[in-house]
Amino acid sequence: PVLVLGGMNVTRPNILLLLMDDMGWGDLGVFGEPSRETPNLDKMASEGMLFPNFYTANPLCSPSRAALLTGRLPIRNGFFTTNSHARNAYTPQEIVGGISDSEILFPELLKKAGYINKIIGKWHLGHRPSYHPLRHGFDEWFGSPNCHFGPYDNKQIPNIPLYRDWNMVGRYYEEFNINHKTGESNLTQIYLQEALEFIYSQAVAQQPFFLYWSIDATHAPVYASRPFLGTSNRGLYGDAVREIDFSIGKILNLLNLTGIAKDTFVFFTSDNGAALISAPMQGGSNGPFLCGKQTTFEGGMRVPGIAWWPGHVAPGQVSYQLGSIMDLFTTSLSLAGLEIPRDRAIDGIDLSPVILESKETERPIFYYRGNELMAVRLGQHKAHYWTWSNSWEELSQGINFCPGQNITGVTTHMQVEHSINPLLFHLGRDPGEKYSISVLSTEYEDAVNRISYVVQQHRDSMVPGEPQLNVCDLAVMNWSPHGCEKLGKCLTPPQSNPWKCVWPH
Amino acid sequence: PVLVLGGMNVTRPNILLLLMDDMGWGDLGVFGEPSRETPNLDKMASEGMLFPNFYTANPLCSPSRAALLTGRLPIRNGFFTTNSHARNAYTPQEIVGGISDSEILFPELLKKAGYINKIIGKWHLGHRPSYHPLRHGFDEWFGSPNCHFGPYDNKQIPNIPLYRDWNMVGRYYEEFNINHKTGESNLTQIYLQEALEFIYSQAVAQQPFFLYWSIDATHAPVYASRPFLGTSNRGLYGDAVREIDFSIGKILNLLNLTGIAKDTFVFFTSDNGAALISAPMQGGSNGPFLCGKQTTFEGGMRVPGIAWWPGHVAPGQVSYQLGSIMDLFTTSLSLAGLEIPRDRAIDGIDLSPVILESKETERPIFYYRGNELMAVRLGQHKAHYWTWSNSWEELSQGINFCPGQNITGVTTHMQVEHSINPLLFHLGRDPGEKYSISVLSTEYEDAVNRISYVVQQHRDSMVPGEPQLNVCDLAVMNWSPHGCEKLGKCLTPPQSNPWKCVWPH
Ligand SMILES: [Ca+2]
Ligand SMILES: [Ca+2]
DSSP collapsed to 3 states, A102-149: CCCCHHHHHHHCCCEEEEEECCCCCCCHHHCHHHCCCCEEEECCCCCC
What's the alpha-carbon Rg for chain A, to the nearest Å? 22
Of B235, B237, B406, Cβ closest to residue A404: B406
Find, in chain A, the residue whose alpha carbon is nearest to that of B35. A428
User: CB under 8 Å to A264, separation ≥6 — which residues?
Assistant: A13, A14, A15, A16, A255, A309
pTM of the model: 0.96
Nearest to A45 by CA among A243, A356, A267, A199: A267
Residues of chain A with pLDDT under 70: 1-10
Confirm or reject contact between B398 and chain A (CB < 8 A).
no
Q: How far is B27 from chain A (nearest CA, A)?
A: 10
**Ligand 2 center to B197 CA (angstroms):** 26
| Counts for chain A of helices (H) and strands (E), in that order | 12, 23
Confirm or reject contact between B36 and chain A (CB < 8 A).
yes
Tell me whether the omega of the peptide bond preceding residue B221 falls within 30 degrees of 0, making it cis: yes
Confirm or reject contact between A353 and chain B (CB < 8 A).
no
Confirm or reject contact between B235 and chain A (CB < 8 A).
yes
Interchain contact, B404 vs A35, CB within 8 Å: no
Cα separation of A401 and A403, whole Å?
6
Nearest to B40 by CA among B187, B182, B253, B233: B253
Query: Residue B142's pLDDT is what?
Result: 98
User: CB under 8 Å to A205, separation ≥6 — which residues?
Assistant: none
Predicted confidence (pLDDT) per residue in A96-111, tens digit: 999 999 999 999 999 9
Interchain contact, A426 vs B235, CB within 8 Å: yes
Active site residues of B: 61, 124
Residues with CB under 5 A from ligand 1 (ion): A 21-22, 61, 271-272
Give the helix/strand (H/E) hosting A196.
helix A187-205
SS (H, E, C) B136-180: CCCCEEEECCCCCCCCCCCCCCCCCEEEECCEEEEEECCCECCCC
Query: Residue A5's pLDDT is what?
Result: 39
Crossing angle between the packed helical segments B61-70 and B327-335, to the nearest 10 degrees: 30
Predicted confidence (pLDDT) per residue in B152-194, tens digit: 999 999 999 999 999 999 999 999 999 999 999 999 999 999 9
Residue A164's alpha-carbon distances to A136, A305, A489, B265, in angstroms, are: 15, 29, 15, 57
Cα separation of B106 and B475, whole Å?
31
Cα separation of B120 and B197, whole Å?
12
SS (H, E, C) B5-36: ECCEEEECCEEEEEEECCCCHHHCHHHCCCCC
SS (H, E, C) B255-271: HHHCCCHHHEEEEEEEC
Q: Are B323 and B301 in contact (CB under 8 A)?
A: no
Cβ neighbourhood burial of A205 (10 Å; 0-12, 13-18, 19+): exposed
User: CB under 8 Å to A114, separation ≥6 — which residues?
Assistant: A3, A12, A208
Cα separation of B147 and B133, whole Å?
15
Of B31, B281, B428, Cβ closest to residue A235: B428
Interchain contact, A237 vs B50, CB within 8 Å: no
Interchain contact, B32 vs A31, CB within 8 Å: yes
Predicted confidence (pLDDT) per residue in B240-292, tens digit: 999 999 999 999 999 999 999 999 999 999 999 999 999 999 999 999 999 99
Confirm or reject contact between A235 and chain B (CB < 8 A).
yes
Confirm or reject contact between B428 and chain A (CB < 8 A).
yes
Nearest to A316 by CA among A31, A47, A63, A95: A47
Residue B7, pLDDT above cutoff 60:
no
Cα separation of A288 and A299, whole Å?
8
Q: What is the mean pLDDT of residues B406-418?
A: 97
Cα separation of A201 and A199, whole Å?
6
Cα separation of B305 and B292, whole Å?
17
Q: How far is A312 from chain B (nearest CA, A)?
A: 22
- AA identity, residue A461: S
Crossing angle between the packed helical segments B235-257 and B187-205, to the nearest 10 degrees: 10
What phi, psi does A213 have (nearest 5°)? Answer: -95, 95
Of B31, B403, B435, Cβ closest to residue A434: B403
Query: Residue A2's pLDDT is what?
Result: 45
Q: Are A145 and A127 in contact (CB under 8 A)?
A: yes
**Chain A to chain B, count of Cβ pairs less than 8 Å apart?**
117
Nearest to B432 by CA among B297, B294, B292, B289: B289
Cα separation of A69 and A53, whole Å?
20
What is the interface pTM, i.e. ipTM, of the complex? Answer: 0.95
Confirm or reject contact between B280 and chain A (CB < 8 A).
yes
Residue A405 CA to chain centroid, in angstroms?
Answer: 24
Query: Residue A7's pLDDT is what?
Result: 38
Of A32, A234, A426, Cβ closest to residue B428: A234
Q: Which residues of B touch A222 (CB under 8 A)?
A: none
Query: Residue A11's pLDDT is what?
Result: 74
Confirm or reject contact between A281 and chain B (CB < 8 A).
yes
Q: Are A198 and A207 in contact (CB under 8 A)?
A: no
Find, in chain A, the residue whose alpha carbon is nearest to that of B231. A428
Confirm or reject contact between B379 and chain A (CB < 8 A).
no
Cα separation of B241 and A428, whole Å?
13
Residue B11 pLDDT class (50, 70, 90 cuts)? confident
Q: How far is A279 from chain B (nearest CA, A)?
A: 8
Cα separation of A414 and A417, whole Å?
9
Q: Are B218 and B304 in contact (CB under 8 A)?
A: no
Active site residues of A: 61, 124
Find, in chain A, the residue whose alpha carbon is nearest to that of B434. A404
Q: Are A289 and A282 in contact (CB under 8 A)?
A: no
Residue B4 pLDDT class (50, 70, 90 cuts)? very low
Predicted confidence (pLDDT) per residue in A404-455, tens digit: 999 999 999 999 999 999 999 999 999 999 999 999 999 999 999 999 999 9
Cα separation of A342 and A71, whole Å?
12
Of B34, B53, B429, Cβ closest to residue A281: B429
Cα separation of A438 and A484, whole Å?
61
Cα separation of B317 and B191, whole Å?
29
Q: Are A309 and A264 in contact (CB under 8 A)?
A: yes
**Ligand 1 center to A271 CA (angstroms):** 5
**Ligand 2 center to B65 CA (angstroms):** 9
Q: What is the mean pLDDT of residues B439-443?
A: 98
Cα separation of B227 and B5, whole Å?
47
**Ligand 2 center to B172 CA (angstroms):** 18
β-strand partners of B264? B14
What phi, psi does A267 have (nearest 5°)? Answer: -130, 130
What phi, psi does B211 have (nearest 5°)? Answer: -115, 125
